[in-house]
Amino acid sequence: MLRSLISLLLLANLSTGTLLPPVGDVQFFDVTDLLSVNRIPVKSHNAIQPDIEAKAALIMDIDSGVVLFEKNGRDQLSIASLTKIMTAILILESNNLDEVVTVDENYGAMPEDEIGVKIWLKQNERITVGNLLIGLLVRSAGDAAFALAKHHSGSVEEFVNEMNKKAEILNLKNTHFMNPIGLDDDGHYSSVFDLAILTKYALRFPTFRSIIKIKKASITSTNGRISHSFKSTNRLLDSYLDIQGVKTGTTDAAGESVINLARSPDGHEIIAIVLNSPNRFQENKSIIDWVFRSYLW
């Protein structure tokens, strides 16, 4: 009875908005989901908390949203290619995977400081949105990010505006974007707490979940004449932990950074983030291992 009453109140508060039908890969959720009660992790013993050197770090339990480990959680820091999580979200919300993108620029001629890593898309190449998302999230390709941004919004600049609008909708108070790649810029930053919320949102998309755990891939143009092969840079995909992947990132300002989705032997999932770490994989692994040894669900 109480659940029904609260549900009606929530629905009444949302009645001024318009619920749109699903587009692309987006998974809309029922507002009554907000009322569901999930198991909250409880600390089982006082294992020594790892002393990590990363500028910021955080672990969030996915089901409950409870923060289990935190260091400088709200500090605004450079985030490198972790940016591409937001890029992927905008595409998954409004584009179908089989849409065809025409690469209308010679991205291969652009220097690394303007585009980052490339999968070497060819000018006038036609390739699907789904394949570009694989290049974006597995190889962290800047040319894939630019091609998707222009396909989505007509220009990279307008796409960045959409990124910042989405950040406001998700209430990411310590986040601002200047590009869809993660290039260093004074106005381009986020916090580990905001990144946990962003990642949790992205994990609602089945396509996102399936791509982020790919270790190596080969994608082709629609005519099959051009191929791009690459490997993931996430070394924890081969660790003893059950890592479902997410995203790595490295720039001069951001240092070595990584976000991982880890699953416990009982199936509980956590989001683990380190920003600007001298050893991102080891520190990420350390805090994941500590959480799974210290908490019970």
As annotated, the active-site residues are 81, 84, 140
Structure tokens at 194: 């905001």
Compute the distance between CA of residue 151 and CA of residue 67 in angstroms, rounded to an integer: 36
Structure tokens at 93: 């919300």
Contact (Cβ atoms closer than 8 angstroms) between residue 149 and residue 92: no
